[in-house]
Amino acid sequence: MSRRAELAATALIGAALVAVAAGATALGAAGRVFARPVVIEASSPAQAYAAWKAAGIRGRILVHLDRRLVTDAVPLSHGIEDLDPRVDDGNFVVAGILSGRVREIFHVVPDAAWDDVRANLARRARTSALVVADGPRFRTAIRSVPVTITRLRDLPPLRERVLVDLNTAVWPPAALAGLEADVTVTYRRDPT
Amino acid sequence: MRRALALGVLLVAAYLRLRALDALPAPFWDEWLHAPTAVNYASRGLIDPDDWWHPPLQHLVRAAGIALLGDGPLGYRMPSVVFGLAAVALVVLLARRLTDDPLAPWVAGALLAADPLHVVLSRSSAEEVVVGTLMLGAVVLALEALDRPFPWAVPLGLALGLTMATKWYYAGAAAVVAGAVAVASWRRGERGAARVAYLLACLGALPVATYLASYLPWFAAGHSLREWWQLQLDMSRMVRAVRADMGSAVFAPSRSALDWFTRPVAMGVRPEGPGAPVVLFLTAFPLTLLVLPAVAWAGWSGVRRGSAPRLVVAGVFAVTWLPLLLVRRPIYVYSATSLLPYAWTLVAVGAGEAVARSRRSPRWLAALAVAALVAGLALFPVLAGTGDPGVLRPLVRAVPTSPGF
C-alpha cells in the first residue's frame, strides 16, 4: 500500500512539474501580444510609448537604435499610479517596462560611438555586478528587464518580431533592413 | 506550570506582534519599496522597484496582505505578524522533537516570542520572518520525514520550494534537511527504485515546481523558460556580488556575524524628520551568549547519542550562519533573524538538560522563560516605535533610504 502510494505521489509530483512548466510557457506565449506592422515617423521619442499603447502590444522585445538609452525614472509617488500623463522623452522606455509592454531591450549603438561605449561599459563591468561583458556585447538590467548593448553586426538572432525605435540623427533607415518588426518608430533627437 | 507558561508564551507573542501594529506611519523602513513591488508583481509580473535579484514569492505574500487589509500599515505588516506567530508555535514543535523535557519546548517558544529582533521584524514588511518561518516549517517536517518519508517528504518538498521562492538564505539548510532525509532512508536499507524516485520527486521536482510556480506572474508578462533560466543566472551573479554600498549602512552595526552571539548588537532607526518615531533593532544580549555553546553541545550530543534530529538542527544553524560569518563586508543585523529559531530551540533544550542533570527544580527553567518574556514586554515601546529609547538614544540613526510615497 505504502509503495503504491509513493508511486502515486511520485507520478503526481512529476505531473505537477510538467504542468507548471507547460503553464509557464503558455502564460509567456499569451503574454506576448503582437500587432499589425506599422511605421511611424514621430516628432519626439516619447511618441513611441503612445504608438505601443495604440497598437495594444504587451510583453515585447524592444530594439533601440540610438546613441544613448535614456532611462529616467517615471515620477511616481507610490509606484502604481497611471503612467500615461507622466511619460516624456527621457522615460518612455522605462514607462514601456512599467506598463508591461517591454520585457527585454537590445540597445544598438552606432559603430562610430562603439569604442567609447565599450570602454565605458568595460570600466563599469570591473566595478559593478550590474554590467557584464558577454562576448562582443555587454549585458545589464533596468528594473529587472535585461538589456543587451551591442553593435548592429553583433545583434544576436531575435526569436520573434520586435518593437523598433530608431533615431535618424545617428542611424539611417537602412539599418532596419534585417529586423522583423511590427511597430517601428523613427524620430530625430540630438545624439549628445 | 507548563500550561501557565504556554499561555504566557502565546499571549506575549501575540501582544508583542499585534499591539499598535499601525502606530508607525507608512512607509516605514523599506515599505516604500515593498508595497509598490507587491502590487506591480501581482498585477503585472514586474519585480520593481524592489531588488529584482531576490525570488518573488515575498511580493505575492505582501500582495495578499494588501488585498486583505488594504494599502496601508496593516496590509504591509500583517503577513509578517502571522508568520512570526507561526514561528513561535513551530519552535515549540521543533524542541519537542529534540527533548522529552515538558517545559523546554515552551522555554524555546518564550525565547523566540520575546526576542527583540524577531519582534521588530515580525512587525515589519521585511521578508526575513516569512522566509525564516517557511524554513522552520521545513525543518519540523524534515524531522518527521527522517523516520517516515511517506507522506512527510511531500509537505517537506513544498516547504523547501516555498522557502527558496522567498529568499535564497537557506539554500545550504535546504540541502542539509533534504540530505538528512535521503541518508536516513538509505541507511534503513530503503534503496528500491520506487523509494529513490519518490524522494527525488519530493525533494527535487516538487521544490522546483513550487519555485517555478512563484514566477507565474512574471511568465504572464511574456517571458519564456529560457529567459527564466537566464534570470536565475543573473540573480545568482548579483547575490554573489552584493556589497556593503548596495544597502543602507545604517543596518550594519556589527562587523561580522560573530558579533551577534558574542557581544551586544544594537541600533536604532527613525525616518528622517523631526519628532519621528524610533525603532530599536537589538539582539537579546546577554542571553545570546548561550547560543554558540548550545549549538556546540547539540552537535556533540547528537553525535554521541546518534540523534539525527539534533544533528539536523545544529547543522541547519551552522550552514546558515557560516556564509554570513565568512562574508567580507559589514553584515546587516536583521540577517540574524534567520538563525533565531534554531538558536533558541537549542538553548532551551540544552538548558532543560542542564537543569535536569543538576537535579535543580524545573522552576529554574521556567524562570529563564519568564525573564525573557518580561524583558520583551519591557522593551516593547522601543521595538514598536511607541516609546522613547531613553539611554539607548545614542544608538539611533536616521534611515536615509525611505523617501515616502
In chain A, residues with a C-beta closer than 8 Å to the C-beta of B192 are 3
Smallest CA–CA distance from B232 into chain A, residue = A144
What pLDDT is recorded for position A63?
97
Give Cβ neighbours of residue B346 (< 8 Å, ≥ 6 apart): B98, B291, B294, B295, B297, B298, B313, B314, B317
Residue A1, chain B, CB below 8 Å: the answer is no
pLDDT number for residue B177: 97
Residue B216 and residue A77: Cβ atoms within 8 Å?
no
At A135 the pLDDT is 92
**ipTM surpasses 0.85:** yes
- Given this model, what pLDDT does residue A78 score? 66
Q: Which three cell numbers stand for residue B280?
A: 530599536
Sequential pLDDT tens for chain B (405 residues)? 888 999 999 999 999 999 999 988 888 888 888 999 999 999 989 888 888 899 999 999 999 999 999 999 999 999 999 999 999 999 999 999 999 999 999 999 999 999 999 999 999 999 999 999 999 999 999 999 999 999 999 999 999 999 999 999 899 999 999 999 999 999 999 989 999 999 999 999 999 999 999 999 999 999 999 999 999 998 888 877 765 445 444 455 566 788 899 988 877 777 666 666 778 888 999 999 999 999 999 999 999 999 999 999 999 999 999 988 887 666 778 889 999 999 999 999 999 999 999 988 888 999 999 999 999 999 999 899 888 767 666 666 554 444 444
Interface of A with B in 26-45 (CB under 8 A): 27-28, 30-33
Determine the residue among A20, A97, A161 to mutate to test chain B binding: the one whose Cβ has the most chain B Cβ atoms within 10 Å.
Answer: A20
pLDDT of amino acid B271? 65
Distances in whole angstroms, Cα of residue A46 to Cα of each of B167, B212, B251, B275:
37, 35, 40, 43
Option in A21, A25, A103 nearest B221 (CB): A103
Residues β-bridged to residue B294 = none
pTM of the predicted protein model = 0.92
Give the residue carrying C-alpha cell 552571539. B261
Across the interface, whether the CB atoms of B197 and A31 are under 8 A apart is answered no
Q: What angle do CA B1, B5, B8 make, to 5 degrees?
A: 140
Contact B206 A130 (CB under 8 A): no
- Residue A22, chain B, CB below 8 Å: the answer is no
* Contact criterion met (CB below 8 Å) for B54 and B102: no
Contacts of B374 (CB under 8 A, 6+ apart): none
pLDDT tens per residue, range A151-191: 999 999 998 999 999 999 999 988 888 899 999 999 998 87
Nearest chain A residue (CA) to B206: A13
Q: Residue B49 to residues B33, B38, B328: CA-CA distances in angstroms?
A: 6, 9, 27
- Minimal Cα–Cα distance from B195 to chain A, Å? 7
